[in-house]
Amino acid sequence: MSRPDNEAEQKDGYGERLKEITAVLKKHSITRGVSPEKLRLILEDLGPTYIKLGQLMSLRSDILPKRYCDELMKLCSDVPPMPFSEVIEVLEESMGCPWQAEFKEIQERPLGSASIAQVHRATLKTGEEVVIKVQRKGIYETMARDIGLMHKAVRLMPPVSIKGAVDLNMVLSELWTVTQEEMNFLTEAANISEFAKKNKGVAFVKVPILYREYTTTHVLVMEYIDGIAINDKEKLLQNGYDLNEIGSKFVDNFIRQVIEDGFFHADPHPGNVRIRGGKIVWIDMGMMGRLTERDRELISQAVEGVALNDIGKIQDAVLALGEFKGKPDHSKLYQDIQDLMEKYGTADIGNIDLAEVMVDLMEVMKENKIMMPASYNVLSCEEMTYTEGGATFTEALLNWIPPIGWYMGVTAMRNYRKSHPNDWLDTGLDALSRDMDSSAQNMLRDLGRIVWVTATSATGVGLLVNAAIVLL
């Protein structure tokens, strides 16, 4: 087919798709506004590309009203699988050879099929059990077209809708950036390697083995993980697991990823966290979050401000973190934070839900037209309060004290390390714990640092008790 014919065909396809989108918008009476439920139904009718966009939008509680995020969380990404012949075509094109040259077997029925890719179980010729993640053929071009068309469709939206509350064009642009990263499997491979390196010393965490020699932009090969879904309480109990231990270690590790590493799993819903051999296995690292040292310090400052009922500390952190749509109204922001503190001000530090604090702070920022940078998206309610059957993800596992005290304890430890890099504490603990395994050594060091820091702080006793509960 000649180039002009190709361009004409693409133009026709573009026009047809625009007609489809317009028809869906008319069907749902978009000129009368867009409620949360209506937005979800529109995205479902528009198909897999828009369902994926909706799922990503559900993570944007910093700029979308919470009721919209909650509704978009209901979107299901399961889509009909692409034909196995297409899977083989993409795989062989990426490998540059027949699939039989490297694989003994590839199961035709996929383990899962989503809008961007699908996963098949397979066996390497060398005998290892693996999974192959294969990108849908032409998905990049399809999503680029659909997002471009959505930009056009946004112009049709009336003022009486969510358009006035958020900059949808900006949201679409950010979503496209995130989607492009997720469609590059070499990026996910790099994420797996980095995550594995940062969690190497965590005895209860496992990361699937990556087979980099078979991995390309469109194909990812890694160790097959069976195990038990982390929210399958019945099966976990049948296999002798302690739900309290699993829950505390899950939250412990996730918060360590955020505060200590500044590199964390950005989609930790139950489908991406499994239990195998007594370890928590993190899978699917196409979306990861990053926080700079400054980011972490400011978040710690905000959380500490909540715990200490220090409105000024919270306000300073919010102003430093946020991006403004206009000149901030300091008096209104102060009053809104003060109203927020009436909710938490008298609460015991151990009973403050960190996730709820983050959600409420997001709402305050939106009310004051302050936008959080994209790197903060996944620290909203969706990550720590994933809902499953009406209960939060963590509550579905156990009734465990939310770790705000632990959070502050680790913050104190980080500050201690920076100001006392080579003092008697590290030296003494090194000598004392020489014969312990690495996890016991780390626990002893952390507990020692907490004792030292909390002994000299106004909230020392409370922090020590909460941190010690987690560490021991």
Q: What residue type is 110 in one-letter code?
A: P
Q: Which pairs with CB-CB distance under 8 Å and at least 24 residues apart come from 80-83?
A: 80/113, 81/110, 81/113, 81/118, 82/113, 82/118, 82/136, 82/137
Q: The dihedral of CA 81, 86, 89, 93: what is its sign?
A: negative
Give the SS3 label for residue 209: coil
Q: CA-to-CA distance for 390 and 396, rounded, in angstroms?
A: 9
Q: What residue type is 137 in one-letter code?
A: K
- Nearest 10 degrees: CA dihedral of 304, 307, 313, 318? 80
- Active site (catalytic) residues: 267
Check if the beta carbon of residue 15 is closer than 8 Å to that of residue 21. Answer: no
Angle at 41 between CA 63 and CA 182, to 5 degrees: 55
Q: The dihedral of CA 324, 327, 329, 330: what is its sign?
A: positive
Q: Cβ contacts of residue 454 below 8 Å, gap of 6+? A: 409, 412, 460, 461, 463, 464, 467
* DSSP tag of 80: P
* DSSP tag of 422: T
Q: CA-to-CA distance for 6 and 208, rounded, in angstroms?
A: 42
Token pair 């979107």: residue: 75
The secondary element (H helix, E strand) that includes residue 260 is none
